Amino acid sequence: MKAQKHRTDHIAASFLTADSFKPRGGLRSFLAYRDLGVSAATGGRFGATVARAVQAYKAGGGTPRHVHRLRFHLIYVLKGWLRTEFEGLGEIVLRAGDCVYCPGGVPQTHIEYSDDYEVLQVTVPADYPTLEVGAGPSGRRRARVAARLPGRVAVARRPARAASRKPARKAARPARRPAR
């Protein structure tokens, strides 16, 4: 009979206080970070933070091109916007309510963001190394990344805004066939 591993998970609640955000408490000095307690609750297997802009970050001063050595990285924009670029996806603008998942090892750079930018980040594991990489995507490097991530680059495009504010009609769904 196999011995079961003892789980260290426990419930974590994080309450917003005046001193929840710590300047320079994370990877980037131009962001203030709030640890949501997930790392401590899961023994470091998962991480969750909210980062917010300390000041607006303008084009030309962006982060160096880098990769994160992790298994899972989810970015959900809570407020403001971020202009960023991921190799294999290209340059995109994420606005409040937008989300991007990026597997580890994908070269990326963050170009600029608004002064009210705030983002929820969920990672596996909680702590991971970040490494600077070359100045830009080369043809060979892009091909290596694409080969390593076949079928893993997907984009749900933002729908074009219509002149009227009427909600779009849902297309009728075909009837399901009974299982045989």
- pLDDT tens for each residue of 166-175: 444 445 555 5
Structure tokens at 105: 């090892």
pLDDT of residue 54: 86
Residue 161 inside a domain? The answer is no
Evaluate the CA torsion angle 42, 43, 45, 50 in order and state its sign: positive
Q: Domain residues for 37? A: 22-148
Residue 60 inside a domain? The answer is yes
pLDDT of residue 180: 52
Give me the helices (H) in 42-176, please: 139-148
Residue 173 inside a domain? The answer is no
Structure tokens at 69: 């050595």
CATH label of the domain that carries residue 75 = 2.60.120.10
Residue 56 inside a domain? The answer is yes
Residue 153 inside a domain? The answer is no
pLDDT tens for each residue of 78-122: 999 999 999 999 999 999 999 999 999 999 998 888 999 999 999
Average pLDDT taken over every residue of the chain: 76
- Collapse the DSSP code of 148 into the 3-class scheme (helix H, G, I; strand E, B; otherwise coil) and give the result: helix
Residue 39 inside a domain? The answer is yes
Task: Say if residue 21's pLDDT is above 90.
Answer: no
Q: Averaged over 9-35, what is the pLDDT? A: 81
* Phi, psi dihedrals of residue 97, rounded to the nearest 5°: 95, -15
pLDDT of residue 55: 77
Residue 33 inside a domain? The answer is yes
Percent of the chain beyond pLDDT 90? 43
The torsion defined by the Cα of 115, 120, 121 and 122, in degrees rounded to 10, comes to 180
- The structure tokens 């640890």 sit at 35
Q: Per the structure, how many domains does the chain have?
A: 1
The torsion defined by the Cα of 50, 67, 62 and 159, in degrees rounded to 10, comes to -70
pLDDT of residue 79: 97
pLDDT of residue 70: 95
- Predicted TM-score (pTM) of the model is 0.69
Which of the pair, 63 or 148, is modelled with greater confidence? Answer: 63
Residue 174 inside a domain? The answer is no
